[in-house]
């Protein structure tokens, strides 16, 4: 359906692709992977014709429809979310718009003399609209929006009043309703809660078109894709199978390439040693000459590319008391909406509690009550003895000073720390070399999240409260964070929609439901096994 044929692409002096080839065939669901800046977004832009390759060709079969979702959703205002979604449904949306115009024309007394012509056209358009399933379109649009977490009121309200994250869901719903031959989805799993994520996973698994997508959620990718295309060093490499298989295959290829490289280096060293030893002896001149020629002709094996692995190790944390935080008889409401009534909760030392609940259940409110960011209307929230708390909130990234560099930000927070230890800290969170001189203003969402984490974890608290810490993080950074937090000796209370993160780090589940708070001993994996569902909003 789509072929990339020996494409090359430069961005200034930076090489993005060199004679790279790949294809997307009918029925393939492909995960596009590679380090940040490798060229994933550029590849989407080449396929959609927003950019042209410097060399080579991007070939799309005639008549193939393409739907492209990315993070830049543009302006939306002035109509309902349902109308905005239906507008993206391709030809049926255009026919629907003409039908509405003809209905208005039939009711217009100034056009009474054209009525016969209008009625004839109305009959043709109405038949075509019905043939394309137009009358079911509103219902289908609402079904998709409901799957992505919209209430009826939000569907019918002005889309311009929605936050950026909800507008992205509207843009995604447009593509899903359109059901093109090929879907290009750039990070569709961002900004989705767990219930919406699982709904989208099921929708895409059942979609019969071709799919090319990026995602920082490995569980989401794993359940949908049947092929991986890796971008690395200007090349495109295809792997059949899911993300787990790709990781295993990549590690195996790397190991084999390293072994080949080592064998060749040993052979070359032996040949060079022979040449050096006998080059001055006339009796060995022919042999030396023969070996020199042989060396010139050998195809050199490249060592495998080593991706820089981030790693962060927690210094030991001071011990807290056994009772870390105690909520007694807590009430909290926003206007008429009751969030908590008579809530009792005790979190003990070294518990790692993940909080689950549908949108609006009060997950972030619970974290705000625990951290003192909001106060209860009644009841008490008491921190235990020797508790030192660290709170990662979504708004923390907005509080960074845009004019300060990464290094200055770290230095401002820890003025007594040695420069070397701050550079090591920055390196552990993916800011190596000159990266530390970037100002906070130019950082991506993921880079800001990493910097806030570094600020919080350098002098680690013994009680971590994390609200969606993985939202902007790529897979490599998440793996680093999981590895670091697995060895963390303190207490954790966290909200996340990343199932890999939940399963790896939780040892207790707090589920918020309309009937109150339910506690489950054991982590997220045990919760799924025991309840038969991956999120509270899903039916068993």
Per-residue pLDDT tens over the stretch 511-522: 998 888 999 999
Distance CA 165, CA 153 (A): 17
pLDDT at 209: 92
Is residue 212 within 8 Å of 32, Cβ to Cβ?
yes
Is residue 501 within 8 Å of 356, Cβ to Cβ?
no
pLDDT at 38: 80
pLDDT at 188: 93
Distance CA 134, CA 525 (A): 43
Of 182, 234, 207, residue with least CA distance to 39: 234
Ranges of the chain whose pLDDT falls below 70? 90, 306-310, 539-540
Terminus-to-terminus CA distance in the chain, angstroms?
Answer: 38
DSSP letter at 387 equals -
Is residue 36 within 8 Å of 474, Cβ to Cβ?
yes
pLDDT at 199: 94
Residue 125, SS3 per DSSP: helix
pLDDT in tens, 351-361: 999 999 988 88
Query: What is the number of other CB atoms lying within 10 angstroms of the CB of residue 308?
Result: 10
Token pair listed for 197: 């994520």
Is residue 435 within 8 Å of 406, Cβ to Cβ?
yes
pTM of full prediction above 0.85? no
Distance CA 512, CA 362 (A): 7
pLDDT at 306: 63
DSSP letter at 158 equals B
Distance CA 338, CA 343 (A): 12
pLDDT at 271: 87
E strand or H helix that includes residue 66? strand 66-69
Distance CA 490, CA 469 (A): 17
Distance CA 121, CA 124 (A): 5
Q: Hey, CA dihedral for 415, 420, 426, 431, is it positive or negative? A: positive
Q: Which residues are CB-contacts of 291 (< 8 A; sequence separation ≥ 6)?
A: 271, 274, 275
Distance CA 180, CA 65 (A): 5
Distance CA 78, CA 17 (A): 41
Distance CA 169, CA 71 (A): 10
Helix, strand, coil abundance in the chain, percent, nearest 5: 45, 25, 30
The radius of gyration of the chain from alpha carbons, rounded to an integer in Å, stands at 29
pLDDT at 540: 43
Place of tokens 């495109």: 236
pLDDT at 202: 93
352-356 β-sheet, strand order: 389-392, 463-467, 491-495, 352-356, 508-513, 516-521
């Amino acid at each position: 359906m789509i072929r990339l044929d020996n494409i090359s692409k430069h961005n200034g002096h930076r090489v993005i692709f060199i004679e790279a080839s790949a294809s997307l065939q009918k029925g393939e669901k492909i995960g596009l992977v590679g380090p940040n800046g490798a060229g994933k977004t550029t590849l989407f832009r080449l396929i959609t014709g927003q950019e042209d390759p410097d060399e080579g060709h991007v070939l799309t079969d005639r008549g193939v429809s393409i739907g492209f979702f990315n993070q830049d959703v543009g302006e939306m205002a002035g109509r309902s979310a349902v109308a905005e979604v239906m507008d993206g449904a391709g030809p049926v949306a255009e026919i629907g718009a003409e039908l509405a115009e003809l209905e208005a024309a039939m009711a217009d007394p100034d056009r009474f003399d054209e009525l016969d012509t209008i009625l004839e056209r109305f009959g043709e358009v109405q038949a075509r609209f019905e043939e394309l399933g137009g009358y079911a379109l509103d219902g289908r649009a609402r079904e998709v929006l409901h799957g992505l977490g919209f209430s009826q009121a939000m569907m019918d309200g002005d889309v311009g009043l929605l936050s950026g994250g909800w507008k992205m869901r509207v843009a995604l719903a447009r593509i899903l309703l359109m059901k093109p031959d090929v879907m290009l989805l750039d990070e569709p799993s961002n900004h989705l809660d767990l219930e919406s994520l699982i709904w989208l996973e099921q929708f895409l698994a059942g979609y019969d078109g071709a799919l090319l997508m990026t995602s920082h959620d490995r569980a989401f990718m794993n359940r949908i894709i049947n092929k991986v295309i890796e971008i690395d060093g200007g090349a495109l490499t295809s792997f059949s199978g899911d993300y787990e298989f790709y990781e295993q295959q990549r590690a195996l290829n790397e190991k084999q390439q390293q072994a080949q490289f080592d064998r060749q280096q040993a052979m070359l060293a032996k040949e060079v040693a022979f040449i050096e030893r006998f080059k001055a002896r006339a009796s060995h001149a022919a042999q030396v000459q023969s070996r020199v020629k042989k060396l010139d002709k050998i195809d050199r094996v490249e060592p495998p590319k080593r991706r820089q692995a981030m790693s962060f190790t927690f210094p030991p944390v001071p011990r807290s008391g056994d009772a870390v935080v105690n909520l007694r008889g807590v009430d909290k409401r926003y206007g008429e909406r009751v969030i908590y009534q008579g809530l009792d909760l005790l979190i003990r030392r070294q518990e790692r509690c993940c909080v689950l609940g549908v949108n609006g259940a009060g997950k972030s409110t619970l974290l705000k009550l625990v951290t003192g960011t909001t106060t209860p209307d009644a009841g008490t929230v008491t921190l235990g003895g020797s508790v030192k708390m660290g709170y990662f909130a979504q708004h923390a990234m907005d509080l960074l000073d845009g004019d300060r560099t990464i290094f200055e930000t770290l230095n401002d927070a820890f003025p007594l720390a040695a420069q070397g230890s701050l550079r090591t800290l920055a390196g552990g969170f993916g800011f190596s070399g000159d990266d530390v001189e970037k100002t906070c203003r130019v950082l991506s969402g993921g880079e800001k999240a990493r910097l806030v984490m570094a600020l919080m974890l350098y002098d680690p608290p013994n009680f971590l409260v994390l609200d969606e810490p993985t939202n902007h993080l790529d897979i490599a950074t998440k793996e680093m964070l999981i590895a670091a937090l697995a060895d963390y000796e303190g207490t954790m209370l966290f909200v996340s929609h990343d199932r890999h993160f939940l399963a790896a780090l939780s040892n207790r589940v707090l589920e918020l439901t309309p009937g109150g708070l339910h506690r489950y001993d054991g982590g997220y994996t045990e919760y799924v096994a025991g309840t038969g569902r991956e999120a509270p909003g899903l039916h068993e």
